[in-house]
Amino acid sequence: MAAFWTESDFDDHETVTLVRDAPSGLTAIVAIHSTHLGPAAGGTRFWHYADPSLAMRDALRLSRGMSYKNAMAGLPMGGGKAVILADDKNTKTPEMLAAFGDAVQALGGRYITAEDVGIGEADMVAVAKRTSFVSGLPSGDGSAAGGDPGPFTAMGIYHGLKAAVAHKLGRDDLKGVHVAVQGTGSVGGGLARLLARDGARLTLADRNAVRAEALAEELGAQTVGADVIMSVSCDVFSPNALGAILNDEGVARLDAPIVAGGANNQLALPEHGAALAARGILYAPDYVINAGGIISVALEYLARQSGEHCDINEVRLRLKQIPERLFAIWRESDASGRSPDEVADAMAQKLIGR
């Protein structure tokens, strides 16, 4: 693999910091893609990578995604992302989190961190002991936004999925609309509960079959194996597990007129957005539909900085605006013939001055 600084993912970043703390064993990358709209906000991923260059690539792609996501969500935040390189036993210690907090503090507020895959609320509380540039902290009595972003992400996807059904199928409700949900974790599980409440017909799959079956029993849904969920004949395929599932094979397997779900980086390559459009499948760009979590953590952070309480109703209001952005993208896509992901990227790049 070429040196990371020659990679195309690298060269549109403002700064990329490699953090090493020998006493704690911490190795981390903090990628700041853009601070054009405000401090770079984006979570910290804790993951074991077979090759460190894959960690760099992940950080770079995810931080650029955060710039686009924050801009399209109308937040006064730029985009960044941190990756902590875990060992093969996923050893995570308080010393490591403290050293990571010190590294975030040393960036002086250019990067604001939060939870991501492998990092939970308790970890953020540990990081917050060393830096104030943290969000996603527990919200206490539930009257304020903040804490685990998963439920807010799920709520935003629910609104966006309804918008997709209205745009593509001309339906204002979800009664009997068949949704195939890939991944029933924090986001997919929360989404499935909201869809069930509206009378949607659900087919669920998770690599952890026990988890999918328990949720199916609770909601009166069906389950299928994780290897076949993408081929289920349905109205909406909702990816809420892994990225890069919309590759040549994945796009060919789909038997649904809509793809609307929360997984980050769903398109394996940009050309797969065009491949979906060529098949007549409506795509809800991932970073637009899954912005609910960052909306919550960003508003929590901004409120805390000004010594205020973040009103959960303000977050709910902003989540309800996700459909407006999607409709604008789809209208532009219909008018121009460009795929929705291409339209969304162009809108986001304009917003961040690129």
Ligand X SMILES: NC(=O)c1ccc[n+]([C@@H]2O[C@H](COP(=O)([O-])OP(=O)(O)OC[C@H]3O[C@@H](n4cnc5c(N)ncnc54)[C@H](O)[C@@H]3O)[C@@H](O)[C@H]2O)c1
Binding site for ligand X (CB under 6 A): 117, 149-150, 153, 182-188, 205-208, 211, 226, 240-243, 262-264, 290, 293
Query: Which CB sits closer to ligand X, 154 or 352?
Result: 154
Determine the Cα–Cα distance for residues 125 and 345; give it in Å rounded to an integer.
34
Q: Using CB positions, name the residue nearest to ligand X.
A: 185
Smallest CA-to-CA distance from 225 within 209, 210, 242 is with 209
Query: Which CB sits closer to ligand X, 204 or 302?
Result: 204
Query: Which CB sits closer to ligand X, 99 or 296?
Result: 296
Instruction: Find residue 267's DSSP bridge partners.
Output: 246
- Compute the chain's Rg from CA coordinates: 19
Determine the Cα–Cα distance for residues 137 and 298; give it in Å rounded to an integer.
11
Query: Which CB sits closer to ligand X, 30 or 73?
Result: 73
Query: Min. distance of Cβ 187 from ligand X in angstroms?
Result: 3
For residues 243 and 264, the answer to whether their CB atoms sit within 8 Å is yes
Query: Which CB sits closer to ligand X, 113 or 182?
Result: 182
Determine the Cα–Cα distance for residues 224 and 229; give it in Å rounded to an integer.
6
- Token pair in block for residue 284: 């809800």
Smallest CA-to-CA distance from 327 within 293, 294, 282, 287 is with 282
Relative to beta strand 222-223, strand 201-205 is parallel
The number of beta carbons lying within 10 Å of the beta carbon of residue 76 is 12
Amino acid at 199: G
Name the residues annotated as catalytic.
81
